[in-house]
Amino acid sequence: MSEMPAIGFTGGRLNRADALRHDAEGLAAAMADPAARLLVMDDYVPAMADGRLGWTALPGMPSDLVLLGLDEGGVPHFAAITGAPARGRSFELIAALHALNAGEAATYAAARSVLDWHARHGFCANCGGVTRPFRAGWGRACPMCGTEHFPRTDPVVIMIAEHEGRALLGRQPAFPPGRYSALAGFLEPGESIEEAVAREVAEEAGVVVRDVRYVASQPWPFPSSLMIACIARADSDAITLDTNELEDAIWVTKAEMRAALAGEAGRFVAPPAYAIAHDLMRVWAGG
């Protein structure tokens, strides 16, 4: 199998500075630091230049903030909690994702996920009380019942089933024209990664798989998932499509996969480079 390329939304360069999350005086000093920086975003689309995120000074009376971390010089970097949930990926955001450098994209992904979580968790799931940010924005506490809530990451398996030198790809109706990708689905409670891979491929395409191998993982901030990329061996290439999940599914050769990844015209269009599906397909085609 070929070497795994750098994965999108990984490689963040900020030290998350967990100790500051528990240090009220240290956090206050970080907020008062004249060098402290605030991430510039408009409706979750980051300001940027030359592949780097845009930052500004903290306002004199900052709103609720999330401490994203410290840079190599110890300068604190924050993002503001706005209360507005994130929407889908706009054309402006997609363009930014293609242009952001790898480490910068990782910082953006962390900020987007945690800010969107705040916007959607203003009330306590235990008693319904209004929650307030704490631990430098990495949690919400309920003053009514004392319950503490923390950002969630939902695990998702994303996989290629292979059979006699071909890989199974699927197409969802919401995909851009011509795009096919690896199959994917959420892990369910009480399920291992291997079991989830087998279940999802069987449910979506009617294909039985075994010998599941883990490849890599990726934080996916839409809204907040951990993509777990795998390759599995299929016993047969017979497809029984679940049209509630997929519009189509096809078996493709390594030559077809390499051509699609290179942007050449063919039967299908590959996923964008910032998605782990792109990396998974590249690894499979090169292995």
pLDDT, tens only, 5-24:
679 999 999 999 999 999 99
Question: With 90 as the cut, is the pLDDT of residue 60 above it?
Answer: no
Percentage with pLDDT > 70 across the chain = 98
pLDDT tier at 59, thresholds 50, 70, 90: confident
Q: Residues near 252 by Cβ (< 8 Å), separated by ≥ 6? A: 166, 167, 169, 180, 260, 267, 268
Question: What residue spans define the domains of the chain?
Answer: 18-122, 154-286
Q: Evaluate the CA torsion angle 26, 32, 36, 38 in order and state its sign.
A: positive
Tell me: cis bond preceding 223? Omega within 30 of 0 counts. Answer: yes
Mean pLDDT of 187-212: 98
DSSP state of 15: B
Mean pLDDT of 91-120: 95
pLDDT tier at 89, thresholds 50, 70, 90: confident
Q: Residues near 142 by Cβ (< 8 Å), separated by ≥ 6? A: 124, 126, 127, 129, 130, 131, 148, 149
Q: Tell me how far apart the 2 most distant CA atoms of the chain are, in Å.
A: 64
Q: CA-CA distance, 266 to 181, in Å (whole number)?
A: 14
Q: Which amino acid is at 70?
A: L
Lookup: tokens for 169: 């790809």
SS3 52: strand
Q: CA-CA distance, 281 to 287, in Å (whole number)?
A: 10
The CATH number that domain 154-286 falls under is: 3.90.79.10
Mean pLDDT of 230-258: 97
pTM over 0.85: yes
